[in-house]
Amino acid sequence: MLLRIPPEELTERQHRVRDEMRDKDLDCFVVFSSLDIFYLTGFAFIPTERPIALVLTPEATVLFLPRLEVEHAQRVATVDQVVSYPEYPGRKHPMQLLAERIKALGCRRPGADADGYGSPYGYQGPRLSEVLGLEVKVDRQLIAGMRMVKSPNELALIKESARWGHLAHVLLQQYSRAGVTELEVSLTASREATLIMTKVLGPDYRPGPGRAGASAGFRGQIGKESALPHAVTTNAVLRPGDVLVTGAGASVWGYGSELERTMFVGEPDAERRKYFQLMCQAQEIAFENIKPGRRCADVDLAVEEFFDRQGLRELWRHHTGHALGLAGHEAPFFDVGDDTEIRPGMVFSVEPGLYVPDLGGFRHSDTVVVTEDGIEIITYYPRDWQSLVV
């Protein structure tokens, strides 16, 4: 069973970056994004105040990091060289030391995913162009573009994630009932699913960056609060008549999937069933419009036209979906403003929603893989309301 991206594929990704460097007349490319460093090397780390950067030249892949990460990186990173600095901010700022290393590698025409390191952990430091004394060609899309179309190995990990997200959701529904709290249900389901997952997958399982194991919950979308698409957890008590919007997934070597369902505490009344069915129709329209060669915008436009025909525009809150992979939200997006061509191997959430104030939110999300002639839906939890009553 595949539980990680093999080193050979990581090396091939690095070669693709070098091909892009050559096309753009760059003699090095510096990566600061923690997820992109993981994507290229398999090295997962906690991005703190201490800068970490990956430097690719035509000849070498060099990982620059603080001393405390050396043994960790040497054990797991697919790179040619690990170079460290003592600590941040240190006697000499790490960005100055990074500049010295880049110059020693002979880089005179640098590119980067950003003009310097950034972190919410109190980091302060100069721009890369400032310490190099050179113009840095910033290209945020070079690696983001590579990540849009998944390899067969990536698809296998995402499908494995969907399997365990399904289990977590089964347990979430099993433990959901009137009178229990949000945290009681979500923590119990997530813990049980993760224990089963790790036992079945065995000692080779690695979560990667992001969440560990399998999880399922409500993220505050309970009762009237379910009408807030991005509510936050309040540890609400589930009550009869509540609309519940759920979310479940799992991390397998950093790759994830998305499964969301609208559930009901007790059989829903006619009004709730009406909005539920309209939401399901919108999702079906989205499924039908995801085809290779079309634009991401076309999918969102088709859903918006349906909402307009039904007089539902005021209940609309967000675009139809987004790409998935190492991050919960990746580019491209099913949005009227995104003209990216849909291609086989792309992976998306499909989640048009309706949000009725003082009543509830209605959203299913399924993970789909774009195929040569349409889509494969890899989340398979029941979608009819009768199956979603607790």
Domain 7-146 fold is Creatine Amidinohydrolase; Chain A, domain 1 (3.40.350)
Distances (CA, A) of 178 to 174, 183, 241: 12, 13, 9
Question: pLDDT value at position 56?
Answer: 98
Superfamily of domain covering 149-388: Creatinase/methionine aminopeptidase superfamily (3.90.230.10)
Question: pLDDT value at position 210?
Answer: 77
CA gap 113, 303 in Å, rounded: 34
User: Cβ(62)–Cβ(83) under 8 Å?
Assistant: yes
Question: pLDDT value at position 134?
Answer: 97
Average confidence (pLDDT) per 10 residues, the chain, 390 residues: 96 98 97 98 96 98 98 98 98 98 96 96 96 97 97 98 98 98 98 98 93 94 97 95 98 98 98 98 98 98 98 97 96 98 98 98 98 97 98
Question: pLDDT value at position 1?
Answer: 85
Q: Hey, where are the domains in the chain?
A: 7-146, 149-388
User: Cβ(349)–Cβ(324) under 8 Å?
Assistant: yes
CA gap 56, 63 in Å, rounded: 9
